[in-house]
Amino acid sequence: MIREEGPAVRREWKPEDLIECWTMDEAEVELLANKSGATRLGFALLLEFFELERRFPRREDVPRAAVEYVAGQVGVEAAAFAGYRWSGSTTEYHRRQVREFYGFRTATVADEDKLVFWLAEQMCPKEMSRDRLRAALLTRCRAEKIVPPTPTPGQVERLLGAAESMFERDFTARTAGRLGPAAARLGELIAVADPDPDAGGEPGGMRSFLQELKEDRGPIQLETLLAEIVKLERVEALGLGEGLFDGVTEKVVEGWRARAMRMYPSDFAAAPEPVRLTLLVALCWMRRTELTGDDREHVEVSALALHLIAASIAYLNTHLIQIVLREEAWRKRLTDADRRGLSALFWTHLNLYGRFELDMNNHLADLPPAA
């Protein structure tokens, strides 16, 4: 009888867990006929381990507590396990017996191809973690009653790598195909030299838009808020459209964005065009959704809201300065240049997207009027 789910094989086992997971039933004991000594104990452990994990173990995978517990059931000294052979015709015969008993079969080339296609189509669009993909592969093998490609760990990694490559090829081709004219505008983002790490920016002290997209926006203040609005508008000007990442999760898009964050313009240029475009789109897309969401209406409303916030902050700052400058001593300290600077600071940048007219002669009810 195969248990539907077994705990991951661990090194420490409580007595009650050993009884639940490593006790042989009558049908299993019957398979031990004509087996003795190390062969009897080794086969019994092989059988019980497979029942738990749906795969065959290496010697080091079998917990010591399980060796001692199963040895007591089959009437063999636990030390005899060291003499069990893990390769050869006898071992292959034992593995075949175990597979047939539990209704499993070895994976064929066709099975492996099906597993790769399943991973690429069903799992890779949702998950980028190798560990989770590996767990999904093993779970799929159990559901299909296929023995995972063991004992060589490299075989599992080969299947995972093939699935990731297949997904990347299809995903990037599909994303690039959805871009239309925006593809050329994205290419302009990398049409600059790599920054000098020692200089902290582009040659000549200029920063590219690509660098700005990769930078953390920092705490929300008036200056950073306005900078984010400009970035948002520049991203919108690329005309990326909607539905570019339909069929994949945000987790996957974020993974591609993280990959793009580590790259220089020359790295983008060296990548195949579909990969390059997908990386750039992920970078722009995630930066946009951090502030707005992923639909056009949300983007436009959010941009207007950000401008309204910026205008409100400017209003409050202006009003607070008016309150301070009621005092004649402070007013006298301002030169004409200072006054011109204040005027530019609070008035010239308020209508970048839409219009929010401010009437500085009207004041909020809870603020005292300016002098």
- Each of the 371 residues of the chain gets a pLDDT tens digit; together they read 333 333 345 667 889 999 999 999 999 999 998 899 999 999 999 999 999 888 888 888 899 999 999 999 999 999 999 999 998 999 999 999 999 999 999 888 999 999 999 999 999 999 999 999 998 998 899 899 998 765 455 788 999 999 999 999 999 999 999 988 888 888 777 765 555 555 444 443 345 777 777 766 666 555 666 667 777 777 777 888 788 889 999 899 999 988 988 888 888 889 999 999 999 888 888 777 665 544 555 555 656 666 677 677 777 777 777 777 778 887 778 787 777 666 545 544 444 445 555 565 665 555 555 55
Q: Indicate the DSSP class of residue 3.
A: -
Q: Indicate the DSSP class of residue 360.
A: T
- What is residue 217's predicted lDDT score, i.e. its pLDDT? 62
- What is residue 349's predicted lDDT score, i.e. its pLDDT? 47
Residue 115: half-sphere exposure toward Cβ, Cα within 13 Å: 31
Q: Indicate the DSSP class of residue 330.
A: H
Q: Indicate the DSSP class of residue 336.
A: H
Report how far residue 66's alpha carbon sits from residue 60's, in angstroms, rounded to the nearest whole number: 12
- What is residue 46's predicted lDDT score, i.e. its pLDDT? 94
> Are 287 and 213 within 8 A, CB to CB?
yes
Residue with tokens 């248990």: 3
Q: Which residues are 106's β-sheet partners?
A: 147
CA neighbor of 147 nearest in space, from 55, 268, 46: 55
> Are 349 and 226 within 8 A, CB to CB?
yes
Report how far residue 248's alpha carbon sits from residue 250's, in angstroms, rounded to the nearest whole number: 7
Pull the structure tokens for residue 267.
């790295």
Which SS3 state, helix, strand or coil, does residue 325 take?
Answer: coil
| DSSP string across 94-151 | HHHHHHHHHT-EEPPHHHHHHHHHHIIIIITTT---HHHHHHHHHHHHHHHTEE-S-S
Four-residue CA torsion sign, 352, 353, 357, 358: negative
Residue type, 43: F
243 φ/ψ sector (left φ>0, alpha ψ -120 to 50, else beta)? left
- What is residue 39's predicted lDDT score, i.e. its pLDDT? 94
Query: Residue 73, class by beta-carbon neighbours within 10 Å (0-12 exposed, 13-18 middle, 19+ buried)?
Result: middle
CA neighbor of 40 nearest in space, from 96, 83, 9, 104: 83
- What is residue 123's predicted lDDT score, i.e. its pLDDT? 95
Where helices occur in the chain by DSSP H, the ranges are 15-22, 26-30, 37-53, 64-74, 89-102, 109-118, 130-144, 153-177, 182-187, 209-214, 222-237, 250-261, 265-270, 273-291, 296-324, 328-333, 336-347
Q: Indicate the DSSP class of residue 188.
A: G
Question: Residue 256: CB partners within 8 Å, gap ≥ 6?
Answer: 278, 279, 282
Q: Which residues are 147's β-sheet partners?
A: 106
- Other Cβ atoms less than 10 A from the Cβ of 48: the count is 23
